[in-house]
Structure 1
Amino acid sequence: MLAFVAAATILGLLAAILSQRVSPLVALILAPVIACVALGMAGHMPAYMVAGITKIAPVAGMFVFAILFFGLLGDAGVLKPLVSGVLRAVGKDPKRITIGTALLALLIHLDGSGAVCFLITIPALRPLYDELGMDRRVLACTASMAAGVNFLPWTGPTLRAASALKLPVGAIFNPMIGVQLVGLGFVFAASWWLGLREQRRLGLIATRQQSAVQAEPLPRLFWLNVALALVAVGVMVSGKVEPVVVFMIGTALVLLLNFPSPTAQRERIEAHAGAALQMVGVLMAAGVFTGIMNESGMIKSLASTAAGHMPQAWGPHLPVLVAMVAMPLSLLFDPDSFYFGVLPVLAEVAHHFGLPPVQVAQAALLGQMTTGFPVSPLTPATFLVAGLSGVELGAHQRFAIPFLFAASLVMTIAALAFGVFAL
């Protein structure tokens, strides 16, 4: 019963968001509440909701102050010269811009944090996309592909897989290096194609056109603001200080430097409050959803049921099958439930058919909360991508899921070709 209700709740949530019948905030709150009541757990529901909100609170706080921080830097005129500089470097060629987006996201994601990757990449490049009239969904999708394919030994899915199956991280990751390179090749090819499509849509000429872009005069305190932004990003990427702390302090300093009067500070905060409040509401609603689904045991039950009902005939082909469905499974299972609940069961099944458990772990990394995490309603990063890009959640998912799923399938084919696992 738990598993059935869990599956129905998640599928209902996805249908509601993707069809845009209701707002994500409404769907994320009411879907699990209805499920909880249907299961007779209404008395426990407030505690479940609070538990989920508590876990999401740091991300929500980070998002509020990230919006304020980058918004205030824009108000101070810091971004215009930077955008002009990028335009002089790449011209008005969307193909170069989308490839540059993928490259920047890939480099930023080397620290293993999807949230940090999106918090830096998207606000930095969104003004450039807006300057040229490019589709913001392309920005969200390109950054998502680069971060999703860039699974590393120190990223969450790899560490979870190694811990759950008691395997060395190197045993899982090292044979996958060639597969990942193929995946990255797909990311840059897809980014180039998306840029080409945007170029044709906008009717832009693919030339550098350096003379057409005038240099922006540097605003007052430009270099001081740039230094502050670089320090904030550097500290955040280092992982020594929580991002919410970095953005809170950074926001206060930007306000103090550029808008010294209390009236000006209040006006600037109010100017960005709408966007911040809207996305924080969605993030809190996501906390309610994951809190109820996890604390009630629905996700755990769904994981056990899914693994236990797998036909035995699939056993010899298990790694390939897992790899093919790993990305869509990110829409159903949060990372802990899958890697600590489903994966050990799948590994036992694989062992029964003479397959090494490491192959199941490698197959899972080809999509489960790697290419799947930027579109899953079970991860805060999805809401960060949509919110920072200024794109509706459902629109982001509809646009990006085919590309992310394609990246997963391309890597699956590469894994077969390289002998990581056999068909």
Structure 2
Amino acid sequence: MNIAVNAGTLAGEPQPVPQPVPGPPRPSEPAHIIRDDAEAIRVAEALAEAFRIGASGRDRSGARPAAELDAFSQSGLWSINVPKAHGGPGVSYATLAKVIAIVSAADPSIGQIAQNHLGIVAAIDTVSSPEQKTLLFGEVLRGTRFGNAFSERGTKRAADFETRFTADGDHVVVRGQKFYATGALLAHLVPIVATDGAGRAWYAIAERDAPGLSVIDDWSSFGQRGTASGTVLIADVRVPKTHLVPAWKGYERPSADGAIFQIIQAAVDAGIARAALDDTIDFVRTKSRPWIDSGQDRASDDPYTIQAVGDLTIRLHAAEALLERAGRAIDAAVAAPDAASVAAAQLATAEAKVLTTEAALASTNKLFELAGTRSTLAEHNLDRHWRNARTHTLHDPVRWKYAIVGNHALNGVAPPFHAWS
């Protein structure tokens, strides 16, 4: 049984009884398949125009972007890192990061929902057998969306998992509980990180409507509201062994899997920074008043405002350049994975994560200083940019990215090798 609960009730009010709700239907038509990198960018830009229109309203109401997600996955952009050998576009990871940044500038919740799906596609390419790749990539190319049931609350560290599975014939039976389950609510398949008797982590990819799988819509964060990153309850969920992916193998030897998960997070932050800067410029040009001491007739001619917008623009361009550089480093590590190429991809991605975090926080905060008091009015809902940036940039602590880069530069120490690096 699947359960979704809306957490929007006021404190002290009676809580609604959770009601069973089905997952989204599988697409009735096969998804489009992108031909090349240039088409991926064109499609992302067209979708972003449509997603931008309702983004503020969805943030206000807490509405889930169901129709938008259908358009996104059917566009072919959810299969862009399926390898060419398996019928996919196999675009550059620099292009993939740019796609996510473009979409996230329109609605960062939608950009983040795709993150774990694309990461799982990369992991399957790294660790799955040829037969499993054919099966699962076939699903992705038809338009099937993966969600995520990875993280857990209450464990000592992010990499500690209490969710377990046991074998039962040609299936495994999974039991546990997850949180931060971005994308699970609107997924067709839900990859669950669960460990075997030896403590090794696997992705047990369950049907969204599998008996015992309950998705709880209890995401109450002030930002990234549309991600529905709430709870997944897993009560003896049966998963066929054909859909049991050995995630642990991705970290048994050098692979770019961790850097791929990370670059998509950085791309979301780059998109948030872009949206905030664009809205700052528009507001200053059309609504803000010049300060009385400036001697100017337009706020956009204030020399201090000009300087600040120039600074934010340079920071964003630098972040975007590092994001592209990290994508190229990941491409090299995917093509020829070894300790050196993977470390180079991790370091480049860490650098991009630092600058995209800083650009997102600076742009979303500076918006109000430059645009003025009226920019804080509820009618504009511009605080959503800061709320989204502040929430999403907490995904993994950027202070540790500085440490990774500095320790390598000073002491030649390679980055730690796990899914968050």
Shorter-chain-normalised TM-score: which range? Answer: under 0.3
Q: Which has the higher contact order (CA 8 A, sep 6+)?
A: 1
TM-score under structure 1 length normalisation: 0.27
Higher strand share: 2
Higher helix share: 1
